[in-house]
């Protein structure tokens, strides 16, 4: 099934982003590349925020966030309550991010995993479905800040 996917990175992941964008398009997905488009140094929060906004606005069904480690951009994406971004390094985590957490964005570290592993993670993420049920209450809480522990 063709999905609408937004993809963004920082300068450390531009090459991986370009490769993944081409691969996703070859597989029939509609991909919006939110940048950057050069290796010039940029601030990953700006691109993480843009990706989260695309998800929140309904411009994309899923997102892929890339930076050197995947950590910084995942934090930026998760600042938006409409985004549920999971940092993954292998396919099983990517699958569980969808099954249990209804993640709509995955983050990958370009300096930590290779292109083949990134593709395997994305494939597992896009193929998985949210299980709902016992996870519903917990996932609903992810969009709201709890002032005190439950």
Q: Which sequence positions are flagged as catalytic?
A: 67, 100
Cβ-contact 8, 51 below 8 angstroms? yes
Q: What is the largest CA-CA distance in the chain?
A: 47
Q: Omega before 36 cis (within 30°)?
A: yes
């Amino acid at each position: 099934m063709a999905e609408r996917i937004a993809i963004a990175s920082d300068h450390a992941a531009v090459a991986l982003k370009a490769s993944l964008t081409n691969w996703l398009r070859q597989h029939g997905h509609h991909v919006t590349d939110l940048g950057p488009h050069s290796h010039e140094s940029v601030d990953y929060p700006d691109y993480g925020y843009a990706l989260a906004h695309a998800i929140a606005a309904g411009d994309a069904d899923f997102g892929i966030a890339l930076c050197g480690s995947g950590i910084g951009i995942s934090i930026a994406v998760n600042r938006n309550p409409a985004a549920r971004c999971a940092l993954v390094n292998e396919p099983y985590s990517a699958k569980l991010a969808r099954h249990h957490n209804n993640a709509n964005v995955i983050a990958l570290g370009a300096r930590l995993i290779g292109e083949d592993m990134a593709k395997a993670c994305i494939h597992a993420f896009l193929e998985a479905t949210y299980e709902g049920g016992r996870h519903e209450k917990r996932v609903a809480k992810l969009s709201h800040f709890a002032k005190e522990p439950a």
